[in-house]
Structure 1
C-alpha cells in the first residue's frame, strides 16, 4: 500500500510539473523570448552597477525611471535614473566594485514585469533586495522603478551548482519518477545557512519533476512555500547557460530519475570536470545522484572514481523484480566498481558519507545534509588558507 501511495503521489507531482512545462511550451516561443529580454535588461543593470558602466545602466533604465531608496534616517529617498547613473564615475569603468547580482524571481503580464533581485556585497557583509518594475516600450524592456531594502549579511558570494535530472518517467516507460525533494532541500538549507548561493541546472532546463514531498516535514514545508526557492527549481538553467568558473562545487542530487539524462550528458560532464580540474572545485553526489559521476573522466582519460571511495544508493537495495529497475540504463555499484572505485554503504535508512579528496558522496537522503556540511567545511578551510 505504501509503495502504491508513493507511486500515485509521484505520478501526480510529475504530471503537475509536466503540465506546467507543457503550458509554458504551449504559449510558444514568445514567452521564452520575452523572459530572455527581461533578463537582458536586468543583466545590463547588474553589470553596469558592478563595473561603473554608464552605457549598460542607460540600457537598463528608462530615462524617466525613479528609484525609491533609503539613507541614514531618511526612509523615503527618491532618486532619478539620471542621478543614479551619474553616481558611477567614468574613471572607475571596468573596475569591479564587489556587487554580485542574481535574479530571484520574474513575473510577467503582457508588457509589464516585476523582478525580485538580490545584490550581494560580501566584502561589506551587505545584502540588498531590489524590487524592480519593468515595461516594454518601443519593443525594449526598461526598468521604470526600483525600490531596495538592505541588511547586514553573512552571504559570501560563493556559488554551488546543483545538477538534477529532467526525466519525468523511467526510461521510455510511463512509470513516474522525479528528483528527491528531501535531497534538494536538506542540502540547500545547509548551504543557505552557511552563506552560499545555489543555482540549479538540468539537461532540459525549466521545471523539475519532484518526488517524495511531505509537507508534514518542517523542512519540506519551509521550502515548498518559499516562492524564491520554488521559482528557482521551476526555472532551472540549461547546461548552455552555466559558466564553470562561477562555481566552487557541483552537487548531483538523487531520486531515481537521476539515472536518466545526466550521466551521459556531455555538457554537464564538461562543466563538472572544469569545476573540478580547472578551478579546484568539489564534486559531490547523493543516493542515485552518484549515477551522475559514474562516467566522468579526468583529462588523462581515467575515470574520476578510479581508486576512490564512493557511496550512493547500492544496487543491493534496489528491487530487481519491479518494472522500474528494468528501465535503468546501468547499475551504480557495478559501474563504479568496474571503473576502479570502491563502493561503500551502510544498512538501509542509515546516513553514510565518504570523503575522498575533493570527491564527497552520500548513500541516501539522510546523508544529504552531512554531505553539504562536509563540502562547506572543506570550502571554508580553503578560503581561510
Structure 2
C-alpha cells in the first residue's frame, strides 16, 4: 500500500471513529410514550407538564419541534392540570396540538435531522420506550452524530439499551439521574410492580454513575451531550441545559410557580429559613404552597435519618400558615415525635382535634404521644 493510500485509510478510519456531524441546528425531536389510556387510569402515559415546559423553552429559543412516539399517531397524557400556565400555553398552540394528535413514528424519523432529542417521562415510558428498537437506534445515531440527548424523570428508560458503535452502553461511565428508587417507593406503587426493572437499578447496572437529590427536589445532571433530570420538577432545568448544550444561550424568562417553589424549598434546606419564610410572607401567591407542604410531608415519610426528618419538618412549617389541611399538621406532629419533641407534637395534634374532634388519625397519634 502506498503512503498516500495509507494516509487516506487513516483519515477514513478517523472519520468513522469520531462523531458524525450533528443534525439540523434548528430542530429538536421530542419523544413521548404512546402507552397511555384514559388519562393514565387504565394504562400510564406521558407527563404533559414535562412536555409543555420543555416545548415552550425550545420554541422560545428558536427551535422547530417534531414529536415522535413508538407507534405514531395520537398519544395520551396522564391526568394533568390544564390551568397551569405552561400547560394552558401549550394547549393554545395549534401546531403543538396537531403534532400530538398525529405523532411521527420513531422508525420514520432520522437522527441527522435534529440538534437534540428530548425524551419525556411518565410511567408509560417504562413500558414502550425501552422495547422500541427503532428508538434505541435513533438515540445511538443521534449521539454518535454529535446531537444532544436529554431525558427527564422516567424518560431515561429509553437510554438503558442504547449502545454506541463500539458496543458499549451509552450511559456507561456517564453521570446520570432519573426517577429514583426512593421516589418510586412512594409514588410508583400502582404500576411499579409491572415495570421490567427499576430505572435507577437498571442504569447503574449498565455502568452509569448515578446522582440524585433529596426526594422530589429538582436535579439536572449534564455529562457532555447527555442531559438528564430526576423528576418532573427538573424539566425546565433539563430543557435549558439542552439548549445550552446545542451551543445557544437560553433566553431570559420568568420562572414558573413550581420552579420558584422548588427553589424556595432548596433555600430552606440550605439553611436560609428566615429568607424563605420572608419570601412567602411577602407574596405567597408567587409560590405553590401546597407543593411545598406536600414535599415536606413526603420527605418526612421517606427520611431515615434525623437530619432528613428535620429538613422535612422545616418545609411543613413553612407551608403550615398557608395550608389548612389537618394532615399537614399531623405530618409535622409525627416529625416532631420522631425528633423526640413530644410537647410540640402534642400541641399540633390538639390544634387538629380542636377543629376536627372526631378525627381518628389525630386521636391515634395523640395516644402514641402520651404513651
* Structure-2-length-normalised TM-score: 0.57
Alignment match, 1:259? 126
For the pair 1:272 / 2:139, whether they are aligned, the reply is yes
CA contact (8 A) 1:208 1:236 kept: yes
Q: CA deviation at 1:215?
A: 2.2
Alignment match, 2:66? 199
CA distance in 2, matches of 1:340, 1:215: 39
Alignment match, 1:36? none
CA distance in 2, matches of 1:343, 1:285: 14
CA distance in 2, matches of 1:322, 1:351: 21
Comparing both structures, which one devotes a greater share of its residues to strand? 1
Q: Displaced runs of 4+ in structure 1, greater than 2 A? A: 173-176, 319-323
Unaligned runs of 5+ in 1: 1-155
CA contact (8 A) 1:183 1:365 kept: yes
Given the alignment, which residue of 219, 224, 249 partners 2:86? Answer: 219
Q: CA deviation at 1:272?
A: 1.1
Given the alignment, which residue of 196, 201, 218 partners 1:334? Answer: 201
For the pair 1:185 / 2:52, whether they are aligned, the reply is yes
For the pair 1:230 / 2:97, whether they are aligned, the reply is yes
Comparing both structures, which one devotes a greater share of its residues to helix? 2
Secondary structure of 1:205's counterpart equals coil
For the pair 1:162 / 2:55, whether they are aligned, the reply is no
Alignment match, 1:322? 189
Deviations 1:329-371 (A, max 9, x none): 1111001111111111112331100001110100112111111
Given the alignment, which residue of 143, 162, 168 partners 1:296? Answer: 162
CA contact (8 A) 2:44 2:122 kept: yes
How many residues align? The count is 224
For the pair 1:242 / 2:109, whether they are aligned, the reply is yes
CA distance in 2, matches of 1:325, 1:275: 30
Larger radius of gyration: 2
Residues 157 and 323 of structure 1, relative CA distance in 2, 3 Å threshold: closer
Alignment match, 2:227? 360
Unaligned runs of 5+ in 2: 1-23, 250-371
For the pair 1:313 / 2:313, whether they are aligned, the reply is no
Secondary structure of 1:179's counterpart equals coil
CA distance in 1, matches of 2:107, 2:160: 22
Residues 307 and 157 of structure 1, relative CA distance in 2, 3 Å threshold: closer
Secondary structure of 1:268's counterpart equals helix
User: RMSD value over aligned CA atoms?
Assistant: 2.1
* Structure-1-length-normalised TM-score: 0.55
For the pair 1:282 / 2:148, whether they are aligned, the reply is yes
Q: CA deviation at 1:311?
A: 0.7
Q: CA deviation at 1:251?
A: 0.7
